Copies of this chain bind each other. A is one copy, B any other.
Amino acid sequence: MPTVHHTIPIDLGDRRYDILIGTGLLEDDTAFDGLPKSSVALIVTNRTVAPLYAERLRARIAAKHRAVQVLELEDGEEFKTWDSLNSIFDQLLGAQADRKTVLYALGGGVVGDITGFAAACYMRGIPFVQVPTTLLAQVDSSVGGKTAINHPLGKNMIGAFYQPQRVIADLDTLDTLPDAELAAGLAEVIKYGPIADDAFLGWLEDNLDALWARDKQALARAVRRSCEIKAWVVGQDEREAGLRAILNFGHTFGHAIEAGTGYGAWLHGHAVGCGMVMAADLSVRLGLIERSYAERLTRLIERAHLPVRGPDLGAERYLELMRVDKKAEGGEIRFVVIDAPGRASMRAAPDAMVRDVLAAHVG
């Protein structure tokens, strides 16, 4: 099989880093060239990923550090908590980690978000490297510097904007990814079509079967294009003052599904997939796009093995949960809607219209 290797530079003012996307990167010392040396390094991973890839990563970075420790968190969104974060701090302080200590986040979005936030806060900031092993983390959490933990009253409520030194996305790690998580990652890939690149949506319709079969060339193109679009958006709006919010297409409904069912019950990507169906319907009802476009998007989401109907929490509970979403202002819910194929913006919508959307797509 041919080697695939792309480098996407991310340029954010004084912080610049590269995303490496390719096959065999965890076997390739050159992918780690130039990363910082330090006395201590800590690989933060989880119980599922550690036995698969932790030793391989340790071998790549061993020469840069006097000691490389590994910390295994529990696996799952429900462990994206202060307790997990604090276990990283405990380990760092126990190892007398200093300001040059390097954190490696080896795993999916949960590991990346917690580890990035730990790096942002430990001694007010230490370097970290993302090694995402899920499709979702490779296309989404590895670009843009958003780090966070959940609070019982809201997802990603406590966090920081903090950029990694490098992102190393080895596509081979997707071979061990469960189908449900592949689908979750495809939700975030599909998202980039309606909000930013209508041609990409067409490409996805043509290549979904190859992606589902984990074809490396197709995956490389999907990850690369997703990262490029995200980097373009984030480059214009690092701190989410405006444009960046469009990346949350499907996420307002999606977060309500996750919070309402208890974090961990729904995979984040599944909730986003279903949330995109709802947000597309809302866009139709607001008169922004044709019904046929929403239906085309819904079909693609279904083909990616994603749910297109939400849990029956009751419309009022959905509304209540969406009012505490980070995009809300003064209690008014603001949704990312599709203005036209490949273009999105943020808008408020009447509660009655939101109830209609929920009635059509819930239960």
Residues of A within 8 A of B (CB): 38-39, 66, 82, 86, 89-90, 93-94, 96, 98-100, 120-125, 146, 148, 151, 153-154, 157-161, 239-240, 323-324, 326, 328-331
Contact = CB atoms under 8 A, between A and B. Distances in A.
Contact of A98 (B93, B98, B239, B330): B330
Contact of A157 (B82, B123, B161): B123
Nearest to A328: B98
Contacts of A160: 120-121, 124-125, 160
A158 B126 CA distance: 11
A328 B40 CA distance: 13
Given A159-B124, A331-B39, A326 B89 contact: no
Contacts of A240: 124
Contacts of A157: 89, 93, 122-123
Copies per assembly: 2
Contacts of A82: 82, 86
A350 to B, nearest CB: 20
A225 B331 CA distance: 44
Classify the interface of chain A: helix, strand, loop or mixed: mixed
A93 B154 contact: yes
A331 B330 CA distance: 49
Contacts of A158: 89, 121-122
* A-B pairs, 9 with minimum CB distance: A93-B153, A39-B330, A124-B159, A123-B326, A121-B158, A98-B329, A124-B161, A96-B324, A124-B160
Nearest to A118: B158
Given A90-B153, A96-B328, A98-B328, 14 more contacts: A38-B330, A39-B329, A39-B331, A82-B82, A89-B151, A89-B157, A93-B154, A100-B329, A100-B330, A121-B121, A122-B158, A123-B157, A124-B148, A124-B239
A26 B254 CA distance: 45
A122 B328 CA distance: 14
Interface-central residue, A125, A154, A161, A330, by most chain B CB under 10 Å? A330
Contacts of A100: 329-330
Contacts of A124: 146, 148, 159-161, 239-240
A239 B331 CA distance: 36
Contacts of A96: 323-324, 328, 331
B161 A324 contact: no
A122 to B, nearest CB: 7
Contacts of A90: 153
Nearest to A323: B96
